[in-house]
């Protein structure tokens, strides 16, 4: 169900981050997640559907589209939310991929491992990787508490990589990225 929302045009408020660049990147990422379910701005139906732009200037409009080029790479990702460190291995095979994440769950006082599928999209701020269907490894059983991860990857003019994540519960973090 969430995957169908990926192509929607969405509205998102800016998050309270210390600088404009970070705020803009996170806003695009959160907006692209599809949390608000605004109607599609599908380019094939541009004459039929018109996005609502009557909102206040404190809102940003973002649209995700299919990425132009496939990605065939693997990365180690490290990020944290509320002091809990998440370590993931992301493997992209074209326009889709898989990611395995390890973390410590304080609710049950033990290490957890989650697999999720990844879809590659593009936004004005960079590439967006949308996670969905978090399951226990080797099963199709959905993890009851894990919110799917979504990432924004941007290559800056100086060649450096900037990466952020916001999960489906809008918990956000900067991401350390290591190519493997």
pLDDT digits (tens, 9 = 90+) for 4-24: 333 332 323 333 344 544 444
| Percentage with pLDDT > 70 across the chain | 66
Mean pLDDT of 27-51: 41
Neighbours of 40 (CB within 10 A): 16
So what CATH class is 71-179?
A: mainly beta
pLDDT for the residue numbered 15: 32
Residue 99 pLDDT greater than 80, yes or no: yes
pLDDT for the residue numbered 134: 97
For the chain, what is the mean pLDDT? 76
Beta bridge partners of residue 149, listed in sequence order: 167
Concatenated DSSP letters for 57-81? TTEEEEE-EE-SS-EEEEEEEEEEE
pLDDT band at 63 (very low <50, low <70, confident <90, very high): confident
CA distance 130 to 147: 12
pLDDT band at 62 (very low <50, low <70, confident <90, very high): low
Write out the residue limits of the CATH 2.40.128 domain(s) in the chain.
71-179
Residue 53 pLDDT greater than 70, yes or no: no
- Write the DSSP symbol of residue 111: E
Mean pLDDT of 113-131: 95
Residue 128 pLDDT greater than 50, yes or no: yes
Tokens representing residue 23 in the block: 């705020």
Lowest mean pLDDT among 58-62, 75-79, 163-167, 168-172: 58-62
pLDDT band at 61 (very low <50, low <70, confident <90, very high): low
In the chain, count of helices (H) and strands (E)? 1, 12
């Amino acid at each position: 169900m969430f995957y169908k929302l990926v192509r929607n045009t969405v509205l998102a408020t800016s998050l309270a981050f210390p600088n404009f660049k970070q705020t803009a990147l996170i806003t695009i990422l959160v907006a692209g997640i599809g949390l608000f379910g605004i109607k599609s701005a599908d380019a094939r139906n541009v004459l039929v559907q018109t996005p609502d732009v009557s909102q206040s200037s404190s809102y940003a409009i973002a649209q995700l589209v299919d990425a132009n080029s496939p990605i065939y790479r693997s990365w180690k990702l490290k990020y944290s939310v509320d002091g809990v460190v998440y370590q993931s291995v992301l493997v992209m095979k074209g326009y889709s991929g898989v990611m395995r994440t390890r973390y410590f769950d304080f609710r049950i006082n033990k290490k957890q491992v989650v697999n999720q599928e990844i879809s590659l999209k593009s936004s004005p701020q960079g590439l967006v990787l949308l996670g969905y269907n978090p399951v226990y490894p080797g099963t199709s059983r959905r993890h009851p508490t894990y919110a799917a991860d979504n990432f924004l990857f941007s290559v800056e003019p100086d060649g450096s990589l900037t990466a952020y994540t916001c999960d489906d519960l809008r918990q956000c973090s900067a991401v350390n990225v290591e190519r493997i």
